[in-house]
Amino acid sequence: MLSSENSFGAEYASPDDPEFIPKYRAACFCGGVRYEVSADPVDVKICHCRACQTLHGAPMQWAAIFHKRHVRVTAGLDLLHFYNSEQDRDERILPCKISCSRCGTPIADEGRRMWLAFPTLFDFGPGNEVPDAFKPTCHLFYGLRVADMRDDLPKWSGHKNHSDRL
């Protein structure tokens, strides 16, 4: 469980760091896994790739990217399930997917330096209005979309800045 040496990883905010001021709180569906972030995301994207569709059971993935130092898990470390899709191994081999082993909610994609959060887990307060900082800036793998997006955001055929703009 959580301890002062931060068993989740030294690159994350310490659970008892007095300088860490939570800006947003997130929880899985069952509430067993909880975490906090102390900053706004550095980027927000919507991914239409097949892996995201399958892993989320959804037409697309909405992801907000944070530095790990702005993230701390506050509950449910023992519930976290890790899955590395490249190697098809349910181990914490980065980059990997994190989900709640009790309710199945995808918690985050854990990269080597970054934490890709799913804003649907966040508590945005009364009314749950999405803050501007969490509005997507682009669409990835847009050629694989199941529905057209009628917005002005850049739409990439693959990864941002490394594929054709559609």
Is the Cβ of residue 16 or residue 78 nearer to Zn ion in the bound state? Answer: 78
Look up residue 131 and give its DSSP letter: P
Residue 46 interacts with Zn ion (CB under 5 A)? no
Quote the DSSP letter at residue 118: -
Cβ nearer to Zn ion, comparing 20 with 158: 158
State the minimum distance, in angstroms, from the CB of residue 99 to Zn ion.
8
Distance CA 78, CA 100 (A): 9
Mark residues 102-141: x for contact with Zn ion by CB under 5 A, - for none: xx--------------------------------------
Instruction: Note whether 106 and 99 are within 8 A (CB).
Output: yes
CB neighbourhood size of 84 (10 A): 16
The DSSP element (H or E) to which 83 belongs, if any, is strand 80-83
Cβ of residue 29: shortest distance to Zn ion, in angstroms? Answer: 5
Name the site residues for Zn ion (rule: CB under 5 A): 28, 30, 32, 47, 49, 52, 100, 102-103
